[in-house]
Amino acid sequence: MKQFLYIPLLMAICLTSNIQTICAQSNDKFCGTWYSAAFQEGGKSVRHVLNICKQNETFAIQFAIEDTAGKTLCRYAPCKDIKQNGNIISGHYQMAPCYIGGPGGRPEYFGPSIEYVTAELVNDKIVCKRYYIETGYRLNSDNRMYYAGEKYVNRSDIIFYRTK
Q: Which tens digits make up the pLDDT trace of 94-104?
A: 887 766 766 66
For 41, other C-beta atoms within 10 Å of its C-beta total 13
- DSSP letter string, 38-88: PEEETTEEEEEEEEEEEETTEEEEEEEEEETTS-EEEEPPPPEEEEEETTE
List the chain domain ranges: 2-161
Residue percentage of the chain with pLDDT more than 70: 74
Is it the case that residue 122 has pLDDT exceeding 50? yes
